[in-house]
Chains A and B, each alone.
Chain A
Amino acid sequence: MSPSNEEYRIELKERLQRNWEALESEVPTAIEKCRKFLKESPENRLKSSGKLKKLKGKRFKGILQYDITDEARVWYRVDRRNHVVYIEYVGHHP
């Protein structure tokens, strides 16, 4: 099992690459902050400065949301055992 202080690997759905890259151009500082958070402490509410939400209900079990900006969000799940963050959607908030 990976040590708890190891950084998380971030896996992104291939078809979302363009959304991620667009945000990297639009809001580079915010996306870098997001990447750092996902790598270091993707489940830590205290370190998220209020940007982390844990979705509720059966449909979204295990899905977390991080507010990149007021308009952009990333939705992901965490594989604690293997220290991987799977990004399920990234883009503008509905």
Chain B
Amino acid sequence: MVSIVFSDVIVNATDLRQNQKCWLEKAYENPITVSYGRKQLAIMNREQIGKLYTQKYYSELVLKACEEFMKGLKSDTFPWEEYLSDEEKIEFHNELLTCAMRSIFTGDWTQLEHAIEDWKATAETERSLEIVKALQDRGTPEQYVTLK
């Protein structure tokens, strides 16, 4: 089975030159391909191509991280992951996939970026026993002073 994931109109360079405005308006809505000789060049909306590149970047990042995790390899993608517990690693990867799937549909990758930043901060915090101990030790009210 062959799925068509990219369809466009193909014009030659002469057509493009003669009806420039018309073709450029069309290219703003849907990609057009300009062919000259054996070469082909696509013209498309800059915002759309930006979104596609972002999607490609994050999709590859998440897939690579998940592949490393499934194969039990040390992560090259997120080297700080080694400081997370086994349970946290599972939670992190589940969140990565959930956020990535949501972002593919919405086009907004902020939530995924925040999840990665938050897990990185968590892993780095885990490196210091002193800080971990301080964070788990919720003080009594008498142990706090008001900051002026």
Contacts and interface: CB of A to CB of B under 8 A. Distances in A.
Given A56-B88, A56-B91, A89-B135, A94 B145 contact: no
A65 B145 contact: no
Given A55-B122, A56-B91, A12 B117 contact: no
B100 interface: no
Nearest to A39: B147
B144 interface: yes
A53 B147 CA distance: 22
B51 interface: no
Interface residues of B, number: 31
B101 interface: no
Interface residues of A, number: 30
A20 B146 CA distance: 12
A3 interface: no
A29 B117 CA distance: 24
A33 interface: no
A54 B118 contact: yes
A63 B136 CA distance: 10
Interface of A: 9-15, 17, 20, 35, 45, 50, 53-60, 63, 65, 75, 86-89, 91, 93-94
